[in-house]
Chain A
Amino acid sequence: MVGVLILKEHGTNCEFESKYAFELAGARLGMVIATPDIDEDPKNILSVDIIHMNDLIKNPKKIFDYQIMMFPGGFSHGDDTGSGYAWANRIRNKMWDEMRKYVEGDHLTLGVCNGFQALVNLGLLPNLDGKYTRSAALLHNEFPRYLCRWVDLQFSGKSPWTEEIDKISLPIAHGEGKFYAAPETLAQIKERNLVAARYIHGEVCTSQNLPANPNGALDDIAGVTDPSGRILGMMPHPERAVDFTHRPDWTLLKELYKRTGKEMPSEGPGLQLFVNALRYFK
């Protein structure tokens, strides 16, 4: 059975659509959702659970029941003292040993938006020294206001999460997404091929006349991995782009497909990420 754990912290808000994205990906791989009396090849069974941090802190070993862990987006603790700070503090203070052991094992971890901010504040990303020293930050957007739009991304690096993904478009929604690291850290991130995704001027930006980099991120960085590639953090939301009708241009594409006698596709560009993660364990 492939188990996916989606963390729920006070103020996170993307748990349900993330769960749905994993389940949709599972369905694409022919997997079935776990039920108590299921009769199926265990490799084909998928279980996606949302667990509250308060419950997890009482029983941190629970995380080892799952191969995949996701830190979803939202406003953990209101981001009142800094995005992802309070969430990271809770993990560092209450379950750091388990978390460390988890990410060092053969597991996949994903942080999206606020989840990415938490991973960076835990030092799990980019973790250049292997000692989980905090070495990057997500600062207020260059224009310091919350921004919700689609971006174009060029994926790179080596991670099970991003295999077969080259250029795709995904939505962002954040106020603090400007990736920052000191020049020497940034150089190492690039040298060690840890940039997972960069903002580029692609399909959406061209069509909607938008700047490529939405927040002033250094080197246009939208996401990074740790040196193992098993941990991925990114500002864009792949779970909000799993259906074709999530795209901002789907009504236009629908017309173009119709007039060339083609069926409109059903999937959105973000689904592949979840398919990749499940396939890694299937």
Chain B
Amino acid sequence: MSRIEVVSKVEDSRAEVRAKSLREAGFDVKDVVLVDAYTLYAELPSEQLGSVAEGLRNPVVQDALVNRPHIPEKKGEIIVPTDFSWVVEIGPQPGVTDNVGHTVSEGIEASLGQEIPASSSKVMFLSGNLSEEDVEKLAGGLYNPIIERVKIKSRDQYFKDKGMNTKYPSVDLHEPPTAGLVDLLNSEDKELETIGKKGIANASGSRNGPLSMSLASMKAVQVYFKEKGRNPTDVELESLAQTWSEHCKHTIFSNPITMTYGPGHVEKVTEGIFKRFIKGSTEEIRRRKGAKDFCVSLFSDNAGVIAFDEKHYISYKVETHNSPSALDPFGGAITGIVGVNRDPMGTRKGHKCVANVYGYCLGDPRDKSKLFKGPNFTQEMLSSKRIGLGVIDGVNVGSNCSGIPTELGFAVFDPRYRGKPLVYVGTVGLEEIVADEKEKAAQPGDYIVMVGGRIGLDGIHGATFSSEAMDAGSPATAVQIGDPITQKKMHDAIIFEAKPRNLYSSITDNGAGGLSCSVAEMAKECGGCHVDLDKAPIKYLGMSPWQIWISESQERMTLSVPKDKWKEFSALMKSRDVEATIIGEFTDSKKCVVDYNGKNVMDVDLDFLHDGVPERELFGERKAVKHEEPEFSIDNLTDALHSLLGRLNICSKEFIAQQYDHEVQGGSALKPLQGRGRVYADASAFRPVLSSRKAVVLSQGICPSYSDINTYHMSACAVDTAVRRAVCLGANLDHLALLDNFCWPGDSEENLGDLFAASMSFSDNAIAHDAPAISGKDSMFNTFKGYDENGKPVTISVPPTLLVSTISVVDDVKNLVSLDAKVAGDLVYVLGDTHDELGGSEYFKMVGEQQRGKPFVGNHCPVSNPDRNPRLYRSLQNCIEQGLVASAKSVDFGGLGIALAKTAMGGMLGMDVSIDELPGKWSREDYGLFSESQGRCVVTVAPESRERFEELMNGRTFAQVGTVRDDNRFVVQHNGRTIVDADVGTLLESYKAPLRDF
């Protein structure tokens, strides 16, 4: 074993920032030195070790120490803690992917021609006044025990041991690698229930982890195997659990549901929510569009596909990765983003990834309260701030390293996301249409080929884990770590090289359920599969066959490769350093058969595997809620505007947008930060085909706080907001599609009643806007069950949350507009009606918090008008296409006041506004300014365009409310009185300050 330590010889900004943040966290830290350590698991001649070490440093700025521990000392100008008192080393846990170690191994193989395993770790030397307890606490904030291990040594110990002497993190495996039988035939209901909930008992006396199977499902399995006259193997039962999981089957959206609206008012929807509302509305819209239908492939593939131009299709998929992100925010988020990248990659014959999006629903980062998963203060949850920063960082690494531009995103905050954050990640794909290309379909006789990374113990039971609420039993192994570079190699080799050469007949990604789901899914195309699990490439020996079969280890695609193409395919993958392995054959046996170690370990009919899940009858109930109607008065609306701008849901998230590369691939057109004030945008645009002037517009809409009043309106507002944000940028409403992502707290009758209403509303509003839904996903169990900081049991459920994403294609990028006011003297218009709709608004929440220490909710949330709003948006689109609009901003969180302020801040130009003629029925000037009524936009128009603009808007509700000033003064008047008087620079400060230093 050899160890190489690389240490900076010059000022190290990472160490300085680390020291600063530790001091800010209250530790008496003087200095920090960071060392990158690499452990090689081979004895090498010192000459070779020396050359390896040279490759791991730049001699201008770094030293490399071979087999001798680093002792910090003073060097030149650089002060290092020669008086260090503690050394902390953090490295990956056994079995967790070590991307850096992997790169080191590859480099050694390239230079020495030998395969030598390597691992990496980070060593931190600390000086200052620190007790052992301090260091343990400090280290606790720097590593995540689920995926990393830490080693702490005092100065004395470090010298005594001559360094850290870290051992290779190998996986310690006790389990025998054979398939076991599960005694179902003789099990009573109680035992079936236990197996379904807690998992299969194993030889060591513990259980394999949750199957998340209901008693009804377990009984269906029992009946099936009774007929076969044998017990199932653990491989079979685990496989069924994956395929039947809520995560994969979406039973809640597909099963019949009986809704109770009130006494005697009951309706049964036998076809289920998905077929009636989501698919139903899309089918109706497509029928109506007729020849103008731009949809290509919906709901059946990994992502929804629509037309881009004559030569290209685009696809879009948005996913959530909530449960893993709560346990390991970085790992959960990076896996989420690289995971959703594989959806377009596995769509049709494979799409190139051209854009990423994100969305985070988080707890308040300033909330310091503690939460525990276990009783008696055990299994402490990470703080809101760490979850937030970890998630943001995970998408940073995953997206940036993959070379995919992150075009758009959002962050919303609510205390109810403290237990389980929602992490949305999405990817847009692009396909060059190949004439006469066969639709993807695995053929009997094709090889089943696994491509990309290897299989490990990381990511076992991810699918079943996310199908229930999170509590102390949630498995740690459900967390995976993504390696974007392994995936990038695979993406490029498959999409740019194998696809054009027509080397495979079908492709899908390995996500939830791993091989068990991807292979079984493709087997539907040809009618069967026969897998030889011994051939599946694994990270280490000793894995049980069921683990290999269901592991969700990252960066893997499953392909079907015709036998006569294998040689060429295999040579191509090899030439790109991408591992590709035949693991079996597709058949037409109507069965899913798996062998391991010469024995048959799975033999289940495909029909039963895919359709055997028993129907579950669902019941939903609508309950009306009544909140206290707020009564308050506010004197100073200038102060209120400043405070609103600084609220977490409104303030700038510039620090997120600018750490994500939104320029890579060279198609950036309207960026996530817009105008001179760099205002965080709610829609953006890019050109995925560089030689074309066509652009893709993306936007998002999410309004969870309206769920406190009514999920029907919440859902309507999410659709309306997403469409409005898109059209304000210049989207083409004739070529605009929707994606839905429902994240629900659970499946109680009330939850399902809320879901039913939200889905119905989604459908009604999709039809109103003539926008087909092309893809969707749901995550039904976003509830945390644990203990608070006093050890008392606590349940935290997310509010019913619907994210609506839009994707639209516009003909000419140059017609797009940004949100910032452009020229002094331009006219400021408000489109749409303003009503007293402040229920669930940021303004009510803020005033409640200020005046009584807890948010007001109210009862009148915004109600979207499905008749007027779409027509207004069409007129606006027309004006934008005619070049009559200089800027456009959707009015949403924080109302008109915020939209006007963002327009002004974007242009760094003041405004004179009067709300005297503001259309709509509003009773108070603060309500007029801060109501969140839907269907409204703020636009600025050049004076010379006034006539044509007003002509084209004829018949719609609009009013000129002011003009853009040539200085920085932002003034709002009502009935001759000045009600807001602010400086745009000061407003910008209020807007940017809260999250600036994150």
List residues of chain A with CB under 8 Å of any chain B CB: 8, 10-14, 16-17, 20-21, 52, 54-55, 73-75, 77-78, 80-82, 85-86, 89-90, 93-94, 120-121, 134-137, 139-149, 171, 173, 178, 180-182, 185, 207-209, 216, 237, 239-240, 242-243, 245-246, 248-249, 251-252, 254-256, 258-259, 264
Contact = CB atoms under 8 A, between A and B. Distances in A.
B391 interface: no
A178 B60 CA distance: 13
B110 A75 contact: no
Contacts of A120: 58
B107 interface: yes
Interface residues of B, number: 77
A223 to B, nearest CB: 17
A13 B658 contact: no
B690 A148 contact: no
A139 B485 contact: no
Contacts of B673: 248
B662 interface: yes
Contacts of A181: 60
Nearest to A117: B58
A148 B823 contact: no
Interface of B: 6, 10, 12-14, 17, 36, 38, 55-62, 99-100, 102-104, 106-107, 110-111, 120, 396, 400-403, 483-485, 488-489, 492, 575-577, 658-671, 673-678, 687, 690-691, 813-814, 816-818, 820, 822-823, 883, 886-887, 907, 942, 944
Contact of A245 (B100, B674, B814): B814
A52 B576 contact: yes
Contacts of A245: 669, 687, 813-814
Q: Which 8 A-B pairs have the closest CB atoms?
A: A13-B403, A17-B666, A80-B103, A251-B818, A78-B485, A173-B661, A80-B100, A137-B61
A184 to B, nearest CB: 12
A21 B666 contact: yes
Nearest to B660: A148
Contact of A78 (B10, B38, B103, B111): B103
14 contacts: A14-B665, A16-B665, A80-B100, A80-B103, A81-B104, A85-B57, A89-B111, A134-B60, A139-B10, A147-B659, A173-B400, A251-B817, A252-B820, A255-B886
A140 B10 CA distance: 11
Contact of B658 (A148, A209, A243): A148
A143 B400 CA distance: 17
A89 B107 contact: yes
Given A90-B110, A251-B817, A255-B886, A144 B400 contact: no
Nearest to B102: A80
B670 to A, nearest CB: 7
Given A17-B690, A86-B55, A181-B60, A80 B670 contact: no
Contacts of A216: 13
Given A13-B664, A20-B666, A86-B106, A256 B823 contact: yes
B676 A209 contact: yes
Contact of A82 (B57, B102, B485, B577): B57
A246 B673 CA distance: 13
Count chain B CB atoms within 10 A of each CB in A11, A52, A73 and give the residue with the most: A11
Contact of B403 (A14, A121, A180, A249): A14
B111 A13 contact: no
B690 A20 contact: yes
Contacts of B576: 52, 54
Contact of A149 (B100, B489, B658, B816): B658
B823 to A, nearest CB: 6
Contacts of A239: 666
A242 B100 contact: no
B664 A240 contact: yes
A11 B690 CA distance: 21
Given A245-B687, A246-B663, 18 more contacts: A11-B403, A17-B664, A20-B666, A52-B576, A82-B62, A120-B58, A121-B58, A139-B61, A140-B13, A140-B14, A146-B400, A148-B662, A149-B658, A173-B661, A240-B668, A249-B676, A251-B887, A255-B823
A182 B662 contact: no
A136 B577 contact: no
A208 B62 CA distance: 36
A28 B146 CA distance: 56
A185 B59 CA distance: 14
B56 A85 contact: yes
A75 B55 contact: no
Contacts of B58: 82, 85, 120-121, 134, 137
A171 B663 CA distance: 8
A251 B816 contact: yes
B104 A80 contact: yes
A145 B14 CA distance: 9
Contact of A10 (B6, B577, B816, B883): B577
Contact of B822 (A140, A209, A255): A255
Given A80-B104, A146-B396, A141 B13 contact: yes
Contacts of A149: 658
Given A13-B664, A55-B575, A85-B58, A140 B110 contact: no
Given A54-B577, A78-B485, A80-B99, A148 B661 contact: yes
A82 B102 CA distance: 14
B106 A246 contact: no
B400 A75 contact: yes
Contacts of A55: 575
A252 B120 CA distance: 48
A146 B403 contact: no
A230 to B, nearest CB: 23
Given A77-B485, A143-B17, A252-B822, A237 B663 contact: yes
Contacts of A249: 676
B670 A251 contact: yes
Given A16-B665, A146-B396, A252-B820, A10 B485 contact: yes
Given A78-B483, A240-B663, A246-B668, A180 B13 contact: no
Contacts of B59: 134
A75 B660 contact: no
A242 B666 CA distance: 9
Nearest to A210: B678
Contacts of B661: 146, 148, 173
B690 A13 contact: no
A77 B107 contact: yes
Given A14-B403, A145-B659, A251-B670, A93 B111 contact: yes
Contact of B659 (A148, A208, A209): A148
B51 to A, nearest CB: 9
A237 B492 CA distance: 22
B990 to A, nearest CB: 15
A12 B484 CA distance: 12
A89 B662 contact: no
Contacts of B942: 255, 259
B488 A10 contact: yes
Contact of B60 (A81, A136, A144, A255): A136
Contacts of B663: 148, 171, 173, 237, 240, 246
B60 A182 contact: yes
Contacts of A134: 58-60
Contacts of A173: 400, 661, 663-664
A182 B10 CA distance: 9
Contacts of A140: 12-14
Nearest to B55: A89
A80 B488 CA distance: 15
Contacts of A21: 666
Contacts of B823: 255-256, 259
A20 B675 CA distance: 27
A254 B56 contact: no
A188 B888 CA distance: 52
A147 B13 CA distance: 15
A207 B676 contact: yes
A144 B34 CA distance: 13
A78 B400 CA distance: 10
